[in-house]
Structure 1
């Protein structure tokens, strides 16, 4: 079973206006309300790939209820901790350029945190836990370390998709996959990266640090896949980019879902790139038809 953990989910309120007038009245051209949060995105794309998962994390208030109802309608199993505070709302304002206004997130109590950690007791060897996104400040800086310890205690694999110190600390625990983009990779090593060769150099450092697979997304230039067996490049399919939210999460879903089904890491890489591209070309997350349309267009070559 694949589990996804979203510590700070959201309702993403997407608003489009023809032209934004600050200090004046603006009328919407279109709006959408979607469940948000990196782990939730992974579960939604896994469902499109025909792979079941259980989504967990913290949900509260009317916004949390909205997310639960949406996932239930899509046939995604949820095992969330119900919290006293409300799940946040993130605003994505599209007026030519996109402006994001993200909520800080709810206050999580010690008992609510303990309830989430207790859910890890259901894990079994062979399960995969996807740990994604930011954490509400009230959880403290060690929450990912505590979750990883719970995974390892039960013999489960884990994927981590976060940034900064939490990602660095996780490397020595042997994550199945990490997926920084090239900007996040540079930030990890406090450097500047301008060439593919530099991406490969620093990606290999992540392998040396303990990661088993490293996937580095490079937007229109495709992606690099770095393993002990070699370094591979995948081209990005051509298309009109409509959506900047969730492409990286979709890439993780494509990789993890396909790896769990086939055990083939290169096919998982291809599916990951196809899934990420399908989301970039859609208003919402990728659907199965778009993923399957793009999959044969992704060319994987060893460098």
Structure 2
């Protein structure tokens, strides 16, 4: 799946004269709003595809240049004149030598572009609708139609448009709209530059069809409208070299974060940092990913009209890939014990995702311990010792306690920072149905959720006599859940079960209900004065085809959101009227 698809109706060929020596240097690049956004997305490690028209000789050159940058291209190739410009920047200022608008798109060209966007959007996490440099390239109503059709398919849509194009896109409905105060002023949406006036304009755009609105303000704190919230986003001002492309870098960085299911405020902070740093460079849509993530730690966000400032300060991510990801702390535990290969596999993917990881697991097996807090001595002391685990360059502890107690003391800072989530597993055996009540793996995840964090229980359905344990398959599916879990509300707890097959890594976990118990159930085989002998028996009868037990038995991976203890209504006769 592609992270981001960009609709760029007519990418440009850009030719720029640079340098202060006689003659200077000639730089030839692909350009235009969508291309500059794609370039920043690639800088931040995202996979990007562009759908656009490529016209004549210049179009062939642009298509080739995009491929050289690692940007996937879905072209509509046509004859005629393509858009281009020649700029002279040898004096330090950008001087226009020539600008060519290019030929308008024909009805046939538009039909091909439209179909290509809809086709490729089905394989993208998020879509950006960008505009061409010239107003006459395509009708404004194309943006309304695209926004409406993509929204109907459940694809998030982000737009960076102005004027009639923005109005059209809002009529279709968008996830996020970005516009500048200068563009609002030109559209007569605002007259001055007061925060109150800009906020009011942003709320009108929200009401017109945008879930959230970002308004940039040329060096001043940008305005974010998100639902009923209005916020100012502050970022340190940089010495300006070239302001062009700052808004494109900002939007691209926001989308980069949203494509990873990061919260909106985190995404806006990253975008503000990328836009601020872009003005310090000559290249449009370029940046240093490490500098962007470090500057993001200095971004502050405050409610308009509120004296309390919310500071967004994500820490540099250890081992982060693709320019870094937001740091979150996770506890890795299980009920199979510290030496379990499943525990090590789950820790490895969390580390690889750039999370701050602490491993703390029972010193010996604690299966079936549910949410027990057994482990503390009579004086309240919990014994633990540091362990070295091959391939895991993170703190690891063997703890003489049940996994739920480990999760509980982690929530009180026993291992350093309080974890944002407890990742429990990978368990040797499925945890399905209402039998999860007895699982130590699930008990630890539930304790994480009830302690103000989040929880994920991961189990591999190995059966009674497994030939092999496909830990990597279960770890791969867990990896895809980590970011959405961390972006979810505190208290969220998920239960993932994976078939014990190598090709299970390619499965998509299916939402499942909890079966009444499980595939098997413990029963009393014999009862006498001296005790009871227990045995495990298959459950008879039909299974609910929506349940985790049935889906797992038929080879599917399952995902269920579960809750810890909660209250319900008293029986009749015991409640007061």
TM range (shorter): 0.7 to 0.9
Retained in 1: the 8 A contact 2:151–2:174? no
Large movers: runs of 4+ above 4 Å = none
Alignment deviations for residues 132-187 of structure 1 (CA, whole Å, 9 cap, x no partner): 12356253343323333442343322222222112112223221111111111223
Q: Whole-Å Cα distance in 2 between the matches of residues 229 and 138 of structure 1?
A: 36
Higher helix share: 1
Give the whole-Å Cα distance in 1 for the aligned partners of 2:171 and 2:140: 17
Structure 1: segments with no counterpart, 5+ residues? 19-26
Deviations, residues 106-148 of structure 1 (Å, cap 9, x unaligned): 2423222211111113433974221112356253343323333
Matches within 5 A, 1:1-303: 1-16=3-18, 28-94=23-89, 95=91, 97-100=93-96, 101-119=98-116, 120-124=118-122, 127-134=125-132, 137-284=136-283, 285-303=286-304
Question: For the residues of structure 1 that align with 2:243 and 2:30, how far apart are their CA atoms?
Answer: 15
Indicate if the aligned counterparts of 2:82 and 2:101 stay in contact, CA closer than 8 A: no
Q: 1:154 to 1:148 in 2, by over 3 A?
A: same
Q: Is the 8 A contact 2:13 2:58 kept in 1?
A: yes
Larger Rg: 2
User: 2:10 & 2:236 partners in 1: Cα distance?
Assistant: 31
Which piece of structure 1 moves more, 167-176 or 96-105?
96-105
Distance 1:10 1:138 in 2: 12
Q: Distance in 1 between matches of 2:162 and 2:101?
A: 17
| Cα pair 1:235 1:298 within 8 Å, conserved | yes
Alpha-carbon offset, residue 73 of structure 1? 2.2
**1:22 — aligned with what?**
none
Structure 2 gap segments, 5+ residues each: 305-577
Root-mean-square deviation (Å): 2.4
Relative to structure 1, the CA distance from residue 295 to residue 280 in structure 2 (aligned partners, 3 Å threshold; closer, same or farther) is same
CA distance 1:206–1:299, shift in 2 (3 Å): same
Deviation, 1:194, is 2.1
Q: Under a length normalisation based on structure 2, what TM-score does the superposition of the two structures give?
A: 0.48
Could you state the TM-score of these two structures normalised by the residue count of structure 1? 0.88
| Residue pair 1:159, 1:178 contacting (<8 A) in 2 also | yes
Aligned residues: 296
Q: Deviations over 1:59-118 (max 9, x none)?
A: 123322332222222222111211212422113333354333432122423222211111
